Amino acid sequence: MTTAGFISIAVTLLLILLLARPAGHYLARAFDYERTGLDRIFLPAEKLICRLGGIRGDNQTWKQYAFTLVLSNSVMIVITYLIFRFQSFLPLNPGNIGNMEPTLALNTAISFMTNTNLQHYSGESGLSYLSQMVAIVFLMFTAPASALSVIMAFIRGLAGKPLGNFFVDLIRSITRALLPIAFIAALAFVCLGVPQTLEPAAVVTTLEGAEQQIARGPVASFLSIKELGNNGGGFFGVNSAHPLENPNALSNLIQILLMMLITTATPFAYGKMVGSPKQGRVLFVSMMMLFLLMLGVSISAEQAGNPLLNSLGIEDSQGSMEGKEVRFGLAQSSLYSVVTTASETGAVNTMHDTLTPIGGMVTIANMMLNTVFGGIGAGFLNVLMYAMIAVFLSGLMVGRTPEFLGKKIEGKEMKLIAATLLVHPVLILVPSAIALALQPDSISNPGFHGLTQVLYEYTSSAANNGSGFEGLGDNTPFWNLSTGIVMYIGRYFAMVALLAVAASLAAKNAVPVSAGTFRTDNRLFAGVFIGVVLIVGALTFFPALVMGPIAEHLTLKP
Amino acid sequence: MRTIWITVRTSLVLMLLCTLLYHLTVTGIAQAVLPYEADGSILYNEDNEPIGSALVGQTFTEPQYFHSRVSSIEYDAAGSGSPNYAPSNEELITRTKEAAEAWKQANPGSPLNQLPIDLVTNSGSGLDPHISPEGALVQIPRISERTGIAAAELEKLVAEHTAGRELGIFGEPRVNVLMLNLELQQLLNK
């Protein structure tokens, strides 16, 4: 890679770093219900929405909180399902797009409600403007808002405070974080060339005299919440590889910053809310190290390129360019692929199916670990779970009851955590095995890569990422329903179980810190944490990765 | 039951706020302030007929034009997509070999080892408006022979249409093929 490529990545990471702490403190203030100067603007709006919605805003127990989360999200799935099913009878459909097929509509509704944004349809031809603008974008706001609410409730539990009220948190997430930032970013995207129109596709006559249709629409407002909310579903079929959805390297930079903003801010918000900034900083640094490891592997693999093509005698210094766009080149494509899978966004500016085997493996590994920052809320929830596992394992090694933030972690918590830990690989590996046995025809690329395609689909679903190895023929009832189930369980199981853990910890008396306490705010803990993430992740998924990307890599010989 | 009722009511309120109000405000501002960008950067000729988008690539097959990258959808921007070939896919190797072979036939003046990889690979979107500057320069011998325009003049044209990295840092240097060919067409018309 060129020096300019390295510098562009370094500057991007620096910007992420600079934004994370202030954004985290802003979140902490907003969700600790502290009074801030911005209350004057936000409070009246929030009160109005609460009144219109009939929300009282009492503190909830963890059971009420979890129940409200799952029920309200399920109702939203039903509402949007109905819109997709009947879009042809509804207004704002200049392209005369038909109703969605039932399993596809269900898959799409679950996919967007669970912040996954797996897309088995193509935006240009599958959805009316109403479906895109109202149904999809509604979920693009409420899904990350739901997850942000849960993580904030979880942190309050750890801090020994009441969990709060789900609906109040949901609305705060939207009014104080998602909506204002999305609005500003949308305007910035328009300045950089992203369309924002209600006109149907433009029809032009090309220089060579052919007719070309150019699909467009309200892309900018869609794009900004897609990235900020770690949603990732593209307005166009090819997502942010489309020149109208990502016209240049600056729009690309803003997208990367938006994807990382809230998820990198959360550890800082956590540190502030539990009254010990170091606790958050250690986790941030640990995740950043995992991130850099992934990025390094990805870049070196993509730069080496595809030996089968390079051996044809062409000029290959650009690296692997199949499925990549010239305006981003190697550095920004590689970076984007790592950012989008680390933050579980799922937007792509390069086709992941065409990445070199090892570059592709990095993207899957990010989703398998699901702790390299992770998506809004859900990611940090996982990180805290791994932190407790790290504490527990350390406790076992020295023979002392493990403590986390002064609360003893005992059998009840560990059972819930262990179950959550196991659900993720089960959701990935079992359906992959079934699909390989029953649906071999959906695989578009032969050989070891075919296995990776299937593995990727379920990993992406379980981790609520939503990107795909898009060659897979996945718009069939089998794939729609199976990935729908995986996304639903992948989303809510962990949230409910971990809310129970938080409530159980909150009810315990704090143990005073002594010389024998295993500290969770220093370098030793960072090392143990990274070790646990890598060992637990590698042990679970290594065999699958060997049979997929690693085998493909080893067979790429000219 | 109460939760369901609250969810339905809140959903309706949020749909108004986060979707209709949000989109329409952004659309209103965008259309008022930046109508060209907001409509998709559509280009018009002297007769005010739309001839393309400055951001979306087009197919060029005639030898006197600069050619774009490979596109399995032939730059049909009603959709978007690529064949998603894995690095190990035979079809990828075959397609690239054929493209390299066709290149040799059409460009006897430019050896294969100068052919940059972006010209024989499919972009992610199938609509990539750009090629690398090297990818434009390497086509000059063919175009110069076809059109009779001196190579030096074409090189100047390519240099004028080479956009650098954004802010000097981000992305890669590139040439917008449609813009370059529009200019080339003007030269040809003279």
Say if residue A306's pLDDT is above 70: yes
Cβ–Cβ < 8 Å for A504, A128: no
- Confidence band for A457, pLDDT divided at 50, 70 and 90: very high
B31–A contact, CB cutoff 8 A = yes
Q: Which residues contact A99 (CB under 8 A, 6 or more apart)?
A: A84, A85, A86, A87, A88, A89
Residue A356: the pLDDT is 95
Chain B neighbors of A354, CB-CB under 8 A: 82, 84-87, 122, 124
pLDDT at residue B125 greater than cutoff 90: yes
Is residue B31 located within the same domain as residue B124? no
Q: Which residues pair with B116 in a beta bridge?
A: A315
User: Distance from A418 to chain B by nearest Cα, in Å?
Assistant: 31
Q: What is the ipTM of this complex?
A: 0.95
Which residues of chain B does A446 touch, with a Cβ-Cβ cutoff of 8 Å?
A: 88-90
**Residues B132, B53 share a domain:** yes
Q: Are A258 and A17 in contact (CB under 8 A)?
A: no
Q: What is the pLDDT of residue A1?
A: 66
pLDDT band at A480 (very low <50, low <70, confident <90, very high): very high
Helix (DSSP H) and strand (DSSP E) numbers for chain B: 8, 5
Based on the domain organization, do B82 and B141 belong to the same domain?
A: yes
CB contacts of B129 in chain A (<8 Å) are 243
Query: Does the beta carbon of B50 lie under 8 angstroms from any beta carbon of chain A?
Result: yes
Mean pLDDT, range A85-107, rounded to an integer? 91
pLDDT > 80? residue A338? yes
- A176, A190, A314, A324: which to substitute to probe chain B, counting the most B Cβ within 10 Å? A314
Cα separation, B31 vs B22, in Å, equals: 14
The answer on B91 and B17 residing in a single domain is no
Residues B11 and B59 in one domain: no
- Residue window 152-181, chain A: list those with CB within 8 Å of chain B: 167, 170-171, 174, 178-179
Tens digit of each residue's pLDDT (9 = 90 or more) over A128-171: 888 988 899 999 999 999 999 999 999 999 988 889 999 999 99
Chain B environment of A332 (Cβ under 8 Å): 170-172
B103 and B133 in one domain?
yes
B18 and B68 belong to one structural domain? no
Same domain as B85, residue B32: no
What single DSSP character describes residue B119? G
Q: What is the tens place of the pLDDT at every residue in A351-402?
A: 999 999 999 999 999 999 999 999 998 999 999 999 999 999 998 888 888 8
In chain A, what are the domain boundaries?
A: 3-275, 381-555
CA distance A410 to chain B (A): 33
Contact B55 A325 (CB under 8 A): no
Q: Please state, in angstroms and rounded to a whole number, the distance separating the CA atoms of residues A494 and A419.
A: 9
- Residue A57 touches chain B, beta carbons under 8 Å: no
Confidence band, pLDDT 50/70/90 cuts, at residue B155? very high
Tally of domains in chain B: 2
**pLDDT of the residue at B139:** 96
For A216-245, write each residue's pLDDT tens digit.
999 999 999 999 999 999 899 899 999 999
pLDDT band, residue A468 (cuts 50/70/90): confident
Average pLDDT over residues A25-40: 86
- What DSSP line would sit under A4-54, residue for residue? HHHHHHHHHHHHHHHHHHHHHHHHHHHHTT---TTHHHHHHHHHHHHHHHT
> Distances in Å between the alpha carbon of B184 and those of A89, B119, B147, B178?
48, 19, 10, 10
Contact residues on chain B for A238, CB-CB shorter than 8 A: 80-82, 124-127
Chain A contact set for B16 (CB, 8 A): none
Instruction: Give the per-residue pLDDT at A38.
Output: 79
**Cα dist. A158→A232, A266, A371, B167 in Å?**
30, 14, 19, 44
CA A2 to chain centre: 29
Residues B14 and B94 in one domain: no
Best A140, A326, A552 member to test B by mutation, with max B CBs in 10 Å, is A326
Calculate mean pLDDT across residues A487-501: 95
CB-CB under 8 Å, B27 with A196: yes
**Do residues B48 and B142 both lie within one domain?**
yes
Q: Which of A23-32, A37-46, A299-308, B69-78 has the lowest mean pLDDT?
A: A37-46
Regarding whether B67 and B27 lie in a shared domain, the answer is no
Query: Which domain, by its residues, includes B27?
Result: 2-36
Q: Which A positions 485-544 lie with beta carbon below 8 A of chain B?
A: none
If you search the block for the tokens 């200019």, which residue do you land on?
Answer: B183
Tell me the percentage of chain A whose pLDDT exceeds 70. Answer: 100
- Interface check for B48 against chain A (CB to CB < 8 A): the answer is no
DSSP assignment of B165-184? -BTTTBS--EEEHHHHHHHH
* Out of B38, B96, B130, closest to residue A312 by CB: B96
